[in-house]
Structure 1
Amino acid sequence: MRFLKAMQTSDRGNLQVQITSSIDSFPVPDASIRISYTGIPENTLEELTTDSSGQSETIELDAPPVEYSLDATNEEQPYAEYTLEVNAPGFEPVNIAGTEILAGVTAIQKIRLRPLVAEDQTPEIFVIPAHTLYGVYPPKIPENEIKPVNETGEIVLSRVVVPEYIVVHNGSPRDSTAQNYYVKYKDYIKNVASSEIYATWPENTIRANVLAIMSFTLNRVYTEWYRNQGYDFTITSSTAFDHKWIPERNVFDSISTVVDELFADYLSRPNVRQPILTQYCDGRQVQCPNWMTQWGSKALGDQGYSPSEILRYYYGDDIYINTAEEISGIPSSWPGYTLSQGSSGTKVRQMQEQLNVIAGAYPAIPKITVDGIYGPATASSVRKFQSVFGLPVTGTVDYRTWYKISEIYVGVSRIAELS
């Protein structure tokens, strides 16, 4: 019970639960959430209920001192673990054991519920394993950062594309019993980053690590690495081969914000078309010369290094940040400038149409007249959308808001629903 010992001198972290239907991505209102310490289920700490947007209120929970996650020499568990028991009318119950709470940041626990098929349905149970910086996982098997590719264009993509979904094999490549999961690209990156770095770290350190994770992932996508070996997935959850991805784990707001800003970016070298396979290790349990170390990147962030300076420190001065030519699964790309009151035209009309579809699923968001004119009513609807989905409430549609509107619109309108 090292965690409970740490609670004697605890800090506080935050938790918000967001629940949607696995069928249509609509929010699930009136879901009940019972929260307890993992390992002490009889001790109910909080009971929450989701609102019309499928979201609970944000609550404070005990967490170990923030210094535990900032000190590379610390051996105490730096996060608290909680169990969530979720029940909603018409849906199968779900229990999640191991939701992580770090001091000073907000944990976002997204849960997709399946429709109920039997009244006496037993809960589906997910157990979140230890964070990779705290637990013991196999170290990365070194690979060449640039892969040989088939230039015919039949197997390898002709350009870098951010996919809407990737297929994650939840095990090592040769484990035929491991399940494949279809995961939205941004959700995958947020999950991996929340599993492999601490959300309490400097923002520039988080940015550098997110860029490395995205570049590695897009290399797997671009080269179709596993499919060219006869597998039916994009990437694995094995740290020996790829990154740690964990079904149903929570993510953190500081990481989510960075991914939403950078999700189309990756790392390049001159005259190399493919994203670089940016490998790294923790730098404490495992050493990896010529790769980035996570704790080392944290130290550089503490010293004020920028994301590009951190990356160049480890990968060389010729590495630079590139942007994908195409983003899959969106109705229309960002116009390249922020939409605000006074804006007008086709892009405003598209955004208004999408907001109205979203409002059909999220009644807290007011519907608006689709006229292509960005007036006060449109700004008010945008502000409410931003509030519901954890964006800065500006009433203007910048890069992050545009693509979040697109993402939610696609989900609730089932444009990209996978069978």
Structure 2
Amino acid sequence: MNIVNPTQPDTPDKGRLQINITSDITASPVAGATVSISYTGVPDSQLEQLTTDSSGQTETIELAAPPLDYSLNPEIEEQPYSEYTLQIEAPGYEPVSIAGAEILPTVTAVQNLTLKPMDSPQPSERIFVIPAHTLYGTYPPKIPEDEIKPVTETGEIVLSRVVVPEFIVVHDGSPRDTTASNYYVRYKDYIKNVASSEIYATWPTNTIRANILAIMSFTLNRVYTEWYRNQGYDFTITSSTAFDHKWIPERNIFDTISGIVDELFADYLSRPNVRQPILTQYCDGRQVQCPNWMTQWGSKALGDQGYSAIEILRYYYGDDMYINTAEAISGIPSSWPGYTLEIGSSGSKVRQMQEQLNVIAGSYPALPKINADGIYGPATAASVEKFQSIFGLPQTGTVDYRTWYKISEVYVGVSRIAELQ
């Protein structure tokens, strides 16, 4: 379905939007929620009303967006995304309003949202206002730091190896701002949020990959060195661009970014004989210059020229930069077997995956239950394909690295809640 924006003449292109809603209490999908979509700044201009299905999802719709070139050319100063307001209501849950959801042309914006159950007959609406994208708005530049931290001096270093955390605590402000809230965020969701806030999802795939690797390596350096906790704070990282990365509560992410994070989430950047992930700092390269760091617009130009992700990173950080993989991933029942599970596969890993899908099917009725016999047959392939369609993965019917860890993540979410109840 096409929606034309008569109030903004310079939106000739189309982007897509899809909304996923789950319960804050059960982690299960919220069916029958209504989502009203209007132009931000014109709240009475309802364009569309969508309803979530049994998987807590709306259909994907097209919305007007500015010309693609606006997000690809650093010389153009026009806003490259259009902004929409989403109002979400569901029986028994507190209503939510999100103003400033960003729609870029050619890509799908994904709005994930958890709803809180009502605790009073007249609950107040939770309102989120999404600020400008960092490449378009004005934010404090990064305060330079050493890219390798002295970790032996304090003796307080907690980790002896690089571990991908399941959750991190994000302080939504500068470190010393005691009024700022702390948010408990899944590591992968944090990376997707930051990348969607700091680069454009329309950029070349290898540019997106290079920037995500830099964001993850920086974040894992904060985790590994316990940087803020060793200074007496109770969080992992902040949302201040002067100190860390821009992270925005309840902002939408983009499908091109989400897929790459799912593929790379255990990776980080290394230098020879340095155990810790490198604190890879960067700037935009248009509003702010930063010699010896990566610039985001510069990385885009290199991606246009066909550079690979590691070539982009080495161009800025030097030839001794390498991509490494963390030794452990927290919060998963067991690690990927190292090969793709498909029709004809069998054994304990297949059985484990089948059992996890069956637990997930208890919360997601669109997912067919299967016989957990350890044999990967057509019924298992069909269940996997349906899972992939619900969770935005390529619908192959086979379990690759991304699908294995997404099944693990959803399984842990729904089974953990079930245990608590």
Give the TM bin, normalised by the shorter chain.
over 0.9
Give the counterpart letter for 1:131 in structure 2: H
Question: In the alignment, what sits opposite 2:339?
Answer: 337
Aligned position for 1:170: 172
| Structure 2 contact 10–67 (Cα < 8 Å) conserved | no
Establish whether residue 95 from structure 1 lines up as the match of residue 97 from structure 2: yes
The CA distance in 2 between the partners of 1:331 and 1:36, in whole Å, is: 42
Q: Tell me the SS of whatever aligns to 2:87.
A: strand
Partner of 2:305: 303
The CA distance in 1 between the partners of 2:80 and 2:90, in whole Å, is 32
Name the SS of the counterpart of 1:381 in structure 2.
Answer: helix
The one-letter amino acid of 1:383's match is E
- Residue deviations 1:256-306, cap 9 Å, x none? 000000000000000000000000000000000000000000000000000
* Distance change in 2, residues 1:418/1:371 (3 Å): closer
1:188 aligns with 2:190: yes
2:352 matches 1:350: yes
2:404 match: 402
CA deviation after TM superposition for structure 1 residue 8, in Å: 3.6
Distance 2:418 2:128 in 1: 26
- The match for 2:283 among 281, 284, 292 is 281
- In structure 2, C-alpha distance between the alignment counterparts of 1:324 and 1:351, rounded to whole Å: 22
TM-score (norm 1): 0.97
User: In the alignment, what sits opposite 1:57?
Assistant: 59
Q: 1:24: Cα distance to partner?
A: 1.6
- Show the counterpart of 1:81: 83
- The aligned counterpart of 2:35 is 33
Task: Tell me, in whole angstroms, the C-alpha distance in 2 between the residues paired with 1:55 and 1:258.
Answer: 22
Q: How does 1:367-386 map to 2 (within 5 A)?
A: 367-386=369-388
Structure 1 residues 348 and 153, CA gap change in structure 2 (3 angstroms): farther
Query: Please, which runs of 5 or more residues in structure 2 have no aligned partner?
Result: none
**Which residue among 315, 332, 347 is the counterpart of 1:313?**
315
* 1:118 positional shift: 1.5
Contact 1:410 1:416 in 2 (8 A): no
1:251 is aligned to 253
Q: Is the 8 A contact 1:211 1:265 kept in 2?
A: yes
The SS at the match of 2:109 is strand
Aligned to 1:238: 240
Change (3 A) 1:418 1:317: farther
* Cα distance in 2, alignment partners of residues 39 and 341 from structure 1: 51
SS in 1 for 2:354: helix
The residue that corresponds to 2:181 in the other structure is 179
Query: In structure 2, the residue corresponding to 1:349 is in which secondary structure?
Result: helix
Distance 2:358 2:11 in 1: 48
Contact 2:108/2:254 (<8 A) preserved: yes
Which deviations, in whole Å up to 9, do the C-alpha atoms of 1:326-350 show, x marking residues without a partner?
Answer: 0000001000000011111110111
Rounded to whole Å, the distance in 2 between the matches of 1:149 and 1:418 is 37
Specify whether residues 55 and 153 from structure 1 end up closer, same or farther in structure 2 by C-alpha distance, changes over 3 A only.
Answer: farther
Whole-angstrom distance in 1 between the partners of 2:6 and 2:134 = 21
Per the TM alignment, residue 225 of structure 1 is displaced from its structure 2 partner at its CA by 0.1
- Superposition deviation, residue 136 in structure 1: 0.2
**Amino acid paired to 1:392:** P
Task: Tell me, in whole angstroms, the C-alpha distance in 2 between the residues paired with 1:403 and 1:13.
Answer: 28
- Which residue of the other structure, out of 143, 146, 149, is the alignment partner of 2:148? 146
CA deviation string 1:176-232 (max 9, x = no partner):
010000000000000000000000000000000000000000000000000000000
Query: Which residue, out of 382, 387, 390, partners 2:389?
Result: 387
Q: 2:68 aligns with which of 66, 84, 88?
A: 66
Q: Distance in 1 between matches of 2:243 and 2:357?
A: 40
Checking the alignment, whether the CA contact within 8 Å between 2:191 and 2:215 is kept in structure 1 is: yes
The answer to whether the 8 A contact 2:26-2:418 is kept is no
**In the alignment, residue 237 of structure 1 is paired with which amino acid?**
S
Q: 1:120 aligns with which of 98, 119, 122?
A: 122
Q: Which residue of 2 aligns with 1:263?
A: 265
Q: Aligned letter for 2:114?
A: R
Alpha-carbon deviation of 1:23? 1.0
Judge conservation of contact 2:108–2:255 (CA < 8 Å) in 1.
yes
1:125 alignment partner AA: I
Q: What SS does the corresponding residue of 1:15 show, helix, strand or coil?
A: strand
Deviation string 1:77-126 (CA, Å, 9 cap, x unpaired) is: 00000000000011000000000000000000011000011121121100
Other structure's SS at 1:44 match: coil
Amino acid at match of 1:176: T
Instruction: Give 1:209's match in structure 2, choosing from 208, 211, 216.
Output: 211
Distance 1:416 1:234 in 2: 28
Q: 1:345 and 1:152, CA in 2 relative to 1: closer, same or farther beyond 3 A?
A: farther
Q: Hey, which bits of structure 1, 4+ residues long, moved more than 4 A? A: 3-6, 151-154, 415-419
Cα distance in 1 between the residues matched to 2:158 and 2:27 = 32
Q: What RMSD, in angstroms, separates the aligned Cα atoms of the two structures? A: 1.6
Q: Which runs of 5+ in 1 are unaligned?
A: none
Whichever residue aligns with residue 270 of structure 1, its letter is P
Quick one: distance in 2 between partners of 1:324 and 1:116?
40
Deviations 1:334-385 (A, max 9, x none): 0000001111111011101100000000000000011111111111100100
* 1:323 aligned to which of 305, 322, 325: 325
- Offset of residue 150 of structure 1: 2.9
CA distance in 2, matches of 1:153, 1:339: 43
